[in-house]
Structure formats: structure tokens, C-alpha cells
Amino acid sequence: MAINAEQPSDDWVWVRYLAGTHPYSTVRTSAWSALVSADPDAAIAAFLAPGGGFDYAVERAQQRRARNMDFVRRVYETTTPDYSPQVHNEAKRLLGPNATDAERETFVRSGYEAARSRDRVYRDQVGKQRQALVQHDRDYVRSLSTNDPGEQVRLSASYAMREGATDDDLVEFFAYGWAAGSRLDLEVFRMRHATDNMQWRSTIVRLIADAEAAEKAAREASEEAKQQAKDAATRAWQQVGTQTQPARSGWSEAQQSAVRQAENWRAVLAAAQAALGPNWTSIIDPAKASEAAWSAERDSAAQQAAYWNALLQQAIDGEQRVKHTL
């Protein structure tokens, strides 16, 4: 889709990120609508404003219909027809234009678990995944249960290796649990940082406006009131700089987390490609997708960190300008 933006603004870049990656389809659609509108600057501002398009899209996404659709799409994208044919094919059907809201609701409530059970019965009957398991596989998954950088993957691996677990549970982890946990970890990461960044941006926009107004007042103040006005403007710009700290720290940590995740999935991909057997084969494509996704998150986090560092410099420049040129 073509976007009219020869030199994208920081707001445009952020909305474009949300349009491509936010877990809620309503947010992605609303963001795209802002980007391709006849007046994108105004539409983007309205989208980012408190109580604006982003907040409204999130609210709508939390309604049942949107939640069900997101669940079906997640199931479809984290399963394959080779290893989870019942689940995958049913999710694919429910994403189609002929599926009804009632069918998706039923799938979320009971159909998904029923399809998973049928897939598990099929794998048990064929038996090739269970027969292919070796001690190395068990050791690897046990290591994931404590060392994987993703909380959801750790939980899924822990369940597969819990006391009383069987080889069928381990096969289930390779066939579904690993990729599903990975997708949830990615979505939690995206959701958390999208929400935090929107809150940070809302606050910083207000503080910058206050600082600019205070600087203007100081510039126009009489000689008798100028020092007091300059002090107020200096404090306002200092407050802007202070307020950038949580965002700068948050995006730095996000970048480091994304780097660890990308490196982890690169190692998983190498292990899967080196191993033999159907269990490891099932994780090759999810590993490729996860490495690419986390690499993209690393780059986006670096971009956002640069944005907030630039705002810090803007605050420093404003403070110095007030002190030395007014």
C-alpha cells in the first residue's frame, strides 16, 4: 500500500509501526486509515491524541468479536497443516469470508481444544513424532523451561517437562506449544511497549507545549518580570528532559530484549536445521519467523530510543536557549 510521505515525521513512523505490528487488527486498521487519509498529518494527530483513534481502536478490539478473530488468526499463524491439521485447517476456514461470528465464538470456547485433541490422537496413532524423540530433545526443552528469554515459552516448556508428563506432551510442545508461546511472548512485548509509548507521548507533548509557552512568555516579559519568567521556562524545559527518562530507559531495555530474543531464535533455527526427525522440522518455519520478527522489533526499538534521545536534546537546547539568549 503506497503512503504519501516523502520525509516521514516521527509520528508517522510510530503510527506506521502500529499499522504493521500491533496485535489488535482494529488498531492496525485505524492506523492505516490515518496514514492513507487525505490529510494524514491531521489524521495521525487525531489517532495519537488521548482518547483518539488509538484508544478507541483498543477499546473496540477488546470486545468479543475482535478478540475471537485475533485468537483464530493467532492459532492459524502458529500451527501448520503438517503437524496440527485439524486446528490449522479449522482456523483457516474461520478466517474466511463465509465463517460466522457464532462459529468463531464456538471455536474459541470449545472447538479449538476439541481440534487439538483430534490432532493429538492422530499424532499418537501415527507415532512417528514420539518415536523420533531422543534424550537430546528432552534436555533441550528442559533447558528452555529455565533459560528461554520468553516467559510464555518457559511456561510451555515447563508444562511439557512437568512431573508426570509423557512423551506425548513433549511432542505437543514441538508441534504447537513452542510456536504458540513464542507468538504470545511477541504479542505481550508489542502490547506493553505500544501502551507505554502512547502514555509517554501523551505526557511529553503536553510538557513540550507548556515549555514552549513558558519560553514565549519569558521572551515577551517585561524587564521586571523577565527573570521570574525565565526561571519558570527553565524549569519547564527541565521537566521535559526529566520526563524523557522512562521512555529512553524503556526503549533501551526493549532493544536489549529484542536482541536476546533474535539471537535465541537464531540458535533455535540452527539447532532445528541440524537435528533429524519430524519434531525439530516443525519448529524451523516458526523459528525463522520469530527471528525476523524480533530483529524488526530490535530496529524499531532503536528508532524509538533515538526519537526520545532527540527529545532530551530538544529539552537541553530549550533550557540553554532560555538561560543564555533571552
Nearest one of 141, 86, 118 to 280, comparing CA atoms: 141
Nearest one of 213, 209, 194, 192 to 243, comparing CA atoms: 209
Percentage helix, strand, coil for the chain under 3-state DSSP, each rounded to 5? 85, 0, 15
Nearest one of 196, 200, 176 to 188, comparing CA atoms: 196
In a domain, 223, yes or no: yes
In a domain, 65, yes or no: no
Q: Which residue has the cell 540458535?
A: 267
| pLDDT at residue 135, rounded to an integer | 94
Number of domains in the chain: 1
| pLDDT at residue 6, rounded to an integer | 65
Distance CA 13, CA 44 (A): 10
Residue 25 in contact with residue 66, Cβ under 8 Å?
yes
Residue 124 in contact with residue 168, Cβ under 8 Å?
yes
Residue 283 in contact with residue 171, Cβ under 8 Å?
no
Side chain identity at residue 275, one-letter code: A
In a domain, 194, yes or no: yes
In a domain, 152, yes or no: no
Could you give the C-alpha distances from 78 to 46, 81, 85, 121, 181, in angstroms and in order?
A: 34, 10, 12, 19, 9
Q: Which residue has the cell 537546547?
A: 317
Joined together, the cell numbers standing for residue 289 give 519467523
Distance CA 60, CA 141 (A): 38
C-beta pairs of 6-13 under 8 Å, 24+ apart in sequence: 9/41, 9/44, 10/307, 10/310, 11/44, 11/45, 11/48, 12/40, 12/44, 13/303, 13/307
In a domain, 273, yes or no: yes
Nearest one of 74, 71, 78 to 283, comparing CA atoms: 78
Beta-carbon contacts of residue 66 (< 8 Å; ≥ 6 apart) = 24, 25, 26, 60
Residue 180 in contact with residue 286, Cβ under 8 Å?
no
In a domain, 241, yes or no: yes
Q: Which domain holds residue 303?
A: 185-325
In a domain, 61, yes or no: no
Distance CA 319, CA 326 (A): 11
pTM tops 0.95: no
- Degrees, nearest 5: CA angle 109-114-120: 140
In a domain, 163, yes or no: no
Half-sphere exposure of 163 (CA within 13 A, CB side): 0
Distance CA 36, CA 48 (A): 15
Per-residue pLDDT of the chain (326 residues; tens, 9 = 90+): 444 546 789 999 999 999 999 988 889 999 999 999 999 999 999 999 999 999 999 998 888 888 899 999 999 988 888 888 999 999 999 999 999 888 998 999 999 999 999 988 877 777 788 899 999 999 999 999 999 999 999 999 999 999 999 998 999 999 889 999 999 999 999 999 999 999 999 999 999 999 999 999 999 999 999 999 999 999 999 999 999 999 999 999 999 999 999 999 999 999 999 998 889 998 999 999 999 999 999 999 999 999 999 999 999 999 999 999 87
Distance CA 41, CA 38 (A): 9
